[in-house]
Chain A
Amino acid sequence: MKKYSLLFVVILTLLGLTACSQNQSLTVTDVWSRPGLADGNSAVFFKIDNPANEEDRLLSASSNVAAAVELHKTTMVDGNMQMKRQDYVAVPGGETLEFKPGDFHVMLIGLNGDLAVGENFQLTLTFENAGEVQLDVPVQEP
């Protein structure tokens, strides 16, 4: 009987841990990209929800639709737009960070072809803790 009780406790603990880890996995939602022209640039936006207790970092993004993919942030200084490349973007634990126009964005540089509204493409985000997150990105008007 004791043996079964112990087994029961172990199973419950494992179930609890699994549920916990599922709840704490980082998610990326509301993904979209601006349209763009071949050889031109575009940008991808989304929301990153990090329910874990500790900070995660978006280290890079990659896609085969552009010659280069970089993390950028737009800031307004006295009404003037400044854009800076980011080495990484920190997503604090328990918070949601939004990549949005006029703020953080994934910059697609040197598009290999036109990105037309209605099309989709693949983008991979690489996080320090969560690892790779594959995204299916719809091209749409804001």
Chain B
Amino acid sequence: MNKRVILIGISLLAFAALIALVLSLTKEYQFEGVLIDPAQPAPPLDLIDSKGRDFNLEDYRGEVVLLFFGYTSCPDVCPSTLSDMKQVVAALGEAADDVQVVFVTVDPQRDTFEKLNSYLSLFNPTFLGLSGTEEDLEPAWNGYGVFREIDTESETAAGYLVNHSSRLYLIDPSGDLALTYSFGTPPEDIAKDIKHILDS
């Protein structure tokens, strides 16, 4: 009788463990970023990179692209975001080989390729800057719904400031715009999402 009770108990425990395992495997991953559902094909970025080469998003299929729009004279939000990107890349370890950080200027008048290159090297020499003429950049800004406004009213020795969107965009390995992140999202949360995408 005792043996039977023990056997039933063990069977119940094994069944419960199996159910827990199935549930954990089928549980949907909760992204930390804002999910674009369904994901949309990422608008093209037909620009020149800070190394002087033609940039083509399609060359990055199979990788995750982290995209940010900013300007090198920006002392606060842009370097904060790039510092965060540096931490994301560090947190990913070897998986960072499949991640490309791209910084598109909203200030083509002042952001020369040389300036973009040396500025981004402050954070990570693998980060790419993209620029072009204002005409070249307009489709990229519009494609991603980027707000950009030259502020000439504030009197500053910086000449002028540029008010701009501060969101970070994630393009997945199939070339779709999959997630966005608001300014200040912890780097470890972004790294966690990227790991999940690369492992899927």
Contact = CB atoms under 8 A, between A and B. Distances in A.
Given A70-B157, A105-B75, A107-B156, 15 more contacts: A40-B115, A41-B73, A43-B76, A72-B156, A74-B77, A79-B166, A80-B163, A81-B74, A83-B161, A101-B77, A102-B76, A102-B77, A102-B184, A108-B75, A109-B157
B167 interface: yes
Contacts of A81: 74, 76-77, 163-166, 183
Contact of B122 (A35, A43, A82): A35
A107 to B, nearest CB: 5
Interface string B148-167: 00010011111001011111
Interface residues of B, number: 30
Contacts, number: 88
Given A40-B119, A101-B80, A142-B80, A67 B75 contact: no
Interface in A62-79: 67-68, 70, 72, 74, 76, 79
A85 B164 contact: no
Contact of A76 (B72, B122, B154, B183): B183
8 A-B pairs with least C-beta separation = A68-B157, A43-B75, A101-B80, A41-B75, A81-B166, A81-B77, A82-B163, A109-B157
B182 interface: yes
Interface of B: 72-77, 79-80, 83, 86, 115, 118-119, 122, 147, 151, 154-158, 161, 163-167, 182-184
Contact of A34 (B75, B115, B157, B164): B75
Residue with the greatest number of chain B CB neighbours at <10 A, chosen from A34, A37, A81, A141 = A81
A67 B76 contact: no
Q: Is the interface of B mostly helix, strand, loop or mixed?
A: loop
Given A81-B163, A109-B156, A37 B183 contact: no
B76 A72 contact: yes
B166 A34 contact: no
A92 interface: no
A91 B126 CA distance: 41
Interface residues of A, number: 30
A34 B80 CA distance: 9
B166 A101 contact: no
A2 interface: no
Nearest to B70: A81
B75 A107 contact: yes
Contact of A80 (B83, B115, B158, B165): B165
Given A81-B183, A83-B76, A142-B80, A110 B151 contact: no
Contacts of B155: 85
